[in-house]
Amino acid sequence: MTILFKLFLILHIIGGSLGLLTGMLNILRKKGDKNHKLIGNIFYVSMLTAGISSLVLAYLHPNYFLFMVGVFTLYMVASGQRYLKHKQQDKLGSKRIDWAITILMSFAGLLFVGIGILTITKSNLFGLVLVTFGSLGLLFVRQDFKNYKNKSTIKNYWLIGHLQRMTGGFIAALTAFLVVNAKYFPDQIPSFLYWLLPTIILTPLITKWSKKYEVKKN
C-alpha cells in the first residue's frame, strides 16, 4: 500500500507541477495559436493525471479536501476539453459523455455544499472551502444545462465554456500548490485562505475574458 501511495503521489506531483506551469503559460501568452493548443494539450493531460491520482490518494489515505480538489479538477478540464468539440457539431458525436460529466458534478457539488454547511455548523471554517467549490461547480453545471439544451444566449458558447473551465482547472492546480506549501508562509495567515485566494483572484479575470470574447446571438 505504501509503494502504491508513493507511486500515485509522484504522478500527482508531476501532473500538478506541469499543469501549473503550462496553465500559467497559456494565461499569459497569446490565445488560439498553434503553441497555445500544444501547451493546452499538455495542460489537459497533466491535470487529468493530477486529478485522477488525487482521487486514488484520497482513497488510500482518506482526505476529503484532496478528493474535492480532484473531482473539481477532473470536471473542469474534462468539460473544458469537450467544449472544443462543440465548435463543429458534426464532429461532436454523442452528448452522453457531456451529460455524464455534468450530472456527476451536480451530485458532487450538492455533496460538497452539504458537507461544507455541516462543517461550518461545527465552527470549522474549512466548510467555507467546500461550500465555495461546491457552489462554483453547480454554477458551471447550470451553464452546461443551458448550453447542451441550446438555450445559451452566447453564439460561441463553446469557446467561453472552454476558456472558463480550463482557467478553473488552473485555479485548482494553484490552490493545491498554495495549500501544500502553506507551511512556508506566515503563520498569521488563516489556512483556509490558501484554499480560497486563487478563486478570489482569478474569478474576476474569468468574467473579464468571457465578456471580451463572447459573441451574443442576434
At 100-146, the pLDDT tens digits run: 999 999 999 999 999 999 999 988 877 888 898 899 899 999 999 99
Residue 76's closest CA among 178, 195, 172, 151?
172
Note the pLDDT tens digit of each residue in 141-182: 999 999 988 888 888 899 999 999 999 899 888 888 887 777
Domain ranges of the chain: 2-87+139-213
Cell of residue 57, nine digits: 490518494
